[in-house]
Amino acid sequence: MSLRDRGLQSHSLECSNQIMKIIFHTATAWMFAAFFSVSHAQQIFPSTTLNIGIHMIKAEVAISDEQRAQGLMFREKMAPNEGMVFRFPETRHVCMWMKNTLLPLSVAFIDEKGRIINIEDMQPQTLNAHCAKKPARFALEMNQGWFRQKNIRSGLQVTGLPQ
């Protein structure tokens, strides 16, 4: 084999190695992207219709510990009259936070009779605690400002809450 042939063979092996590296890195990137998208896939929640006065809300329902922990994490958008209602196993002191939550939200804390206790605005991706001013059975998260825009305040009745 001549030096020229050895050089071509060496160059050919070098190109093959480069191609294999590109294929490996591309496959790794695709696997990482697939894993990341699956790990943040949105859980499907049951939904219900809530009413506050004349305002109708399509609310996803979070009842189990896992559903309440997931909540609205990683959501990038939510329709204007949509939200999520969290039902707690019993009336208790409740606080919410915004870990991994991308949307600015307002939360209404609601007692066991369906009366709004207080409403708090929450900023995305923060760990600040937003708490009910007295024991609550439910929390209703909506796009930030929704309650204010509809003139919904403490003391108003929410109907259709999950039992």
Q: What is the pLDDT of residues 71-113, one digit of tens each?
A: 999 999 999 999 999 999 999 999 999 999 999 999 999 999 9
What one-character DSSP code corresponds to residue 75? -
Average pLDDT, the chain: 84
Name the pTM for this structure: 0.75
How many domains are there within the chain?
A: 2
pLDDT band at 133 (very low <50, low <70, confident <90, very high): very high
Domain of 139, in residue numbers? 47-159
Contact of 48 with 61, CB cutoff 8 Å: yes
pLDDT at 34: 41
Indicate whether 98 and 26 sit together in one domain: no
Indicate whether 65 and 96 sit together in one domain: yes
Indicate whether 9 and 30 sit together in one domain: yes
pLDDT at 126: 96
Indicate whether 117 and 139 sit together in one domain: yes
Indicate whether 51 and 116 sit together in one domain: yes
pLDDT at 42: 62
The C-alpha angle 48, 112, 82, rounded to 5 degrees, equals 30
pLDDT at 137 over 70: yes
Indicate whether 90 and 16 sit together in one domain: no
Indicate whether 93 and 22 sit together in one domain: no
Indicate whether 139 and 124 sit together in one domain: yes
Of residues 147 and 2, which shows the higher confidence score?
147
CATH of the domain at 113: 2.60.120.1140
Q: State pLDDT tens for residues 34-70.
A: 444 444 556 779 999 999 999 999 999 999 999 999 9
pLDDT band at 21 (very low <50, low <70, confident <90, very high): low
